[in-house]
Chains A and B, each alone.
Chain A
Amino acid sequence: MTNIMEAENVKLSYGDFEALHGITLAFPAKKLTALIGPSGCGKSTFLRCLNRMNDDIDNIKISGKILLENKDIYRTHLDLVALRKKVGMVFQQPTPFPFSVFDNVAYGLRVAGVKDKDLIEQRVIESLKQAAIWEETKDSLQRNALAFSGGQQQRICIARALAVRPEVVLLDEPTSALDPISSSEIEETLMGLKKKYTFIMVTHNLQQASRVSDQVAFLMNGELIEAGSTEQMFLSPEKEITSNYLNGRFG
């Protein structure tokens, strides 16, 4: 199994406060890794390091290495724009832009300077199909994306992230703002996409992690407590604290 991304001793601090105390974790390609842990444990912060979304915050200091295909994303000449084409992201709240579904999904390609209309159209359709939202949008591609339901909007956002053909897609609690039916639709979508893309997902929902993930990493207080295959983590975790968390004794 090859690792597409690797974090080595990643530390992050805001001013004097250290939020991540050295996290080392590898992400296997074409698998879904779930980052779990109690609120405020740093899992979202860590996720945002992986596509450098934390860079804009004042007083932030990040050390350690994050390798994408064996190149350190913080120290190579790979610029932010290029990095984010390789590492896409879907947020907690569905965030469609206030224009048509087509323009939403085409956005990443267009800002990357793709002018070929046929290619854009083909990619948009393909991505909508991959995100399992094609059937619901094929007759209304020119409709404003905000006119769709929350779950549909989130799948449009997934399609939008996929349209630039990223290597890795980061998911920051992608279903926590959705109702159970929409959530399960998103989960199904992810299950279908795992063969093609690498996903790294932050989730509060342990059942969801057990259903969709291949690897689970448990973080607490800015430290990686334990990581392993989903089966092993849920059935026989090595540390007691992990077992306590997974069995709902705290968190």
Chain B
Amino acid sequence: MAKKEQDLQEVVEQAIAQQKVPHVKFKGINPRNIDIARLTKPSKETRQERWGKGLTALAIVLIGLLIVAIIGFVGMHGLATFFTDKVNIFQFLFSTDWNPGAGPKHVGAAAMIVTSFAVTLLAAMIATPFAIAVALFMTEYESGKRANLLQSVMELLVGIPSVVYGFLGLTVIVPAVRTIFGGTGFGILTATLILFVMVLPTITSLTVDAFKAVPKELRKSSAALGATRWQTIFHVVLRAARARIMTAIIFGMARAFGEALAVQMAIGNAVLMPYNLVSPAATLTSQLTSQMGNTVMGTLPNNALWSLALLLLIMSLVFNFLVHLIGKKS
């Protein structure tokens, strides 16, 4: 370092001797005043920059490792069902015979897969029209205090713990369904009604963002062509926001698909193919939560639960992939 500094000092001296450097007459600005030691070292800002980069990179590496570890662990145990215990993957996906304790011939998750999709799709189907209506009200009709109030209410709904939703469902919806439709009151319908309330805020707030992202100029142009407000909403706003609304629905579905506790409290937990909406059933998540304490690590029943977990993980990847695909297409 010292050698380099000396060399540079020599270069400066030589340049002055050969009169290559103009002798500026300003105070303090003089080739001889150059602090070569300071110029050859990284500045404070450069060091901060490196520190910042280093810290963020470290955080990313750690989180990346964590994600890989989670996927690896779930994958390892989930796949053990098929590789170690020799369960047929088609049987796992399409058979309704779920009794892993009885051996590898009885590991069929079809009933849970169907139930999971049923509650997810039904909840999204009920929640979406309400979400769109509320979002339209908040963005197109009312944008002042009342919209803010609604926004707060929606945020509150997100913040309520799922066990509270489950408890409410158990106390209110289960008896109501029992009284109206008969049966035990536990089942897909009850779970769907709870999930509807739970995914509503998710879909609503993302749909609000979708409507807000539609340029004001489009609404004005539509009005300037003689369209009524409703025509503008229906033909222009909804159409322009279509992709984002789809994304909102998928996020809502991902939440419904992954919700465990509230569903477990309301669905009845019987691994049976649902033949109607009010018969007790079980989803992938509800089976996982209710059974994980009852199995021994490394045994087939335990590995089978890990397979359910792997399936949930894959589905969440699929949901994310769909969101990505829609984003790219629009």
In the complex, what distance in Å separates the CA atom of A114 from the CA atom of B250?
Answer: 37
Identify which of B224, B231, B236 contacts A53 (C-beta below 8 A): B224
Contact present for A95 and B235 (CB under 8 Å): no
Among listed A12-20, A83-91, A232-240, interface-contacting one: A83-91
Report the interface size for chain B: residues with CB under 8 A from the other chain.
17
Identify which of B215, B227, B228, B231 contacts A95 (C-beta below 8 A): B215
In the complex, what distance in Å separates the CA atom of A171 from the CA atom of B217?
Answer: 14
Contact present for A85 and B226 (CB under 8 Å): yes
A65 at the interface (CB under 8 A from B): no
A164 at the interface (CB under 8 A from B): yes
Contact present for B239 and A97 (CB under 8 Å): yes
In the complex, what distance in Å separates the CA atom of A107 from the CA atom of B239?
Answer: 13
Known: A97-B240, A98-B239, A99-B239. A107 touches B217 (CB 8 A): no
In the complex, what distance in Å separates the CA atom of A52 from the CA atom of B218?
Answer: 17
In the complex, what distance in Å separates the CA atom of A98 from the CA atom of B237?
Answer: 10
Known: A99-B239, A107-B235. A160 touches B215 (CB 8 A): no
Contact present for A93 and B217 (CB under 8 Å): yes
Report the interface size for chain A: residues with CB under 8 A from the other chain.
24
A-chain residues with CB within 8 Å of residue B215 when the two chains form the complex: 95
A-chain residues with CB within 8 Å of residue B221 when the two chains form the complex: 89, 91, 95, 97, 157, 160
Contact present for A91 and B217 (CB under 8 Å): yes
Known: A91-B220, A95-B218, A111-B231. A160 touches B225 (CB 8 A): yes
A-chain residues with CB within 8 Å of residue B139 when the two chains form the complex: none
Contact present for A81 and B217 (CB under 8 Å): no
Residue ID in chain A nearest B236 by CB atoms? A97
B223 at the interface (CB under 8 A from A): yes
B162 at the interface (CB under 8 A from A): no
Interface string of B239-258 (1 = CB under 8 A from A): 11000000000000000000
* Contacts of A59-116 to chain B: CB distance below 8 A: 80-82, 84-85, 88-89, 91, 93, 95, 97-99, 107-108, 110-112
Interface string of B198-230 (1 = CB under 8 A from A): 000000000000000001011011111111100
B-chain residues with CB within 8 Å of residue A157 when the two chains form the complex: 221
A-chain residues with CB within 8 Å of residue B217 when the two chains form the complex: 91, 93, 95
18 A-B pairs in the complex with CB atoms less than 8 angstroms apart: A53-B220, A53-B223, A80-B226, A81-B226, A81-B228, A84-B224, A88-B224, A91-B220, A91-B221, A98-B239, A98-B240, A107-B227, A108-B225, A108-B227, A111-B222, A111-B225, A111-B235, A164-B225
